[in-house]
Amino acid sequence: MVAASVTFTIGYSGKTIAEFLTALRRAGVKRVVDVRALPLSRKKGFSKTVLGEALSKAEIEYVHLREAGNPYRNLKADLSRCLALYSTYVHDHPEVVDAVESAIDGEAAALLCFEANACECHRSVLIDRLVARCPCRKVQHL
């Protein structure tokens, strides 16, 4: 594994597509790894096809990892339970973390989901697992 020096995460809540792209460019992100199970959004510009096209125009690669999505997202009203269940899911399915690790390998990459605060998102569980595998991994939430 050749990890980039920093793994980024980004949530698009509260951002326009222009603000989102600016944040990625400023950070030097070259690949966005979408960890939503369903890459659809009511927010203009953030559904899979349109987002992928916008990222491509910005010379940023788009990768969707459906398997990294949170099957318990419907429990977001009880965030602690939602994230605990996802953590157990990832523990029981290490191939999910393998896929994420492979997708970010060697690139300045950002894990993408909706929530602005990474601590309120399943991507925090993924990041924790990645850091456990590689304690020298640096993480920056955009």
**Count of CB atoms within 10 A of residue 66's CB?**
13
Domain positions in the chain are 6-141
pLDDT at 12: 96
pLDDT at 4: 53
pLDDT at 3: 46
For the chain, 142 residues long, give each residue's pLDDT as a single digit of tens. 444 578 999 999 999 999 999 999 999 999 999 999 999 898 999 999 999 999 999 999 999 999 999 999 888 889 999 999 999 999 999 999 999 999 998 889 999 999 999 999 999 999 999 999 999 899 999 9
Instruction: Please write the tens of the pLDDT for every residue from 30-50.
Output: 999 999 999 989 899 999 999
**Would you put residue 138 in left (φ > 0), alpha (ψ -120 to 50) or beta?**
beta
φ, ψ dihedrals at 127, nearest 5°: -60, -45
pLDDT at 102: 95
How far apart CA 70 and CA 89 sit, in angstroms, is: 9
pTM of the model: 0.92
Architecture of the structural domain at 6-141: Alpha-Beta Complex (3.90)
- Alpha-helical (H) ranges within the chain are 17-27, 48-57, 79-92, 94-104, 123-133
How far apart CA 98 and CA 19 sit, in angstroms, is: 30
How far apart CA 106 and CA 76 sit, in angstroms, is: 32
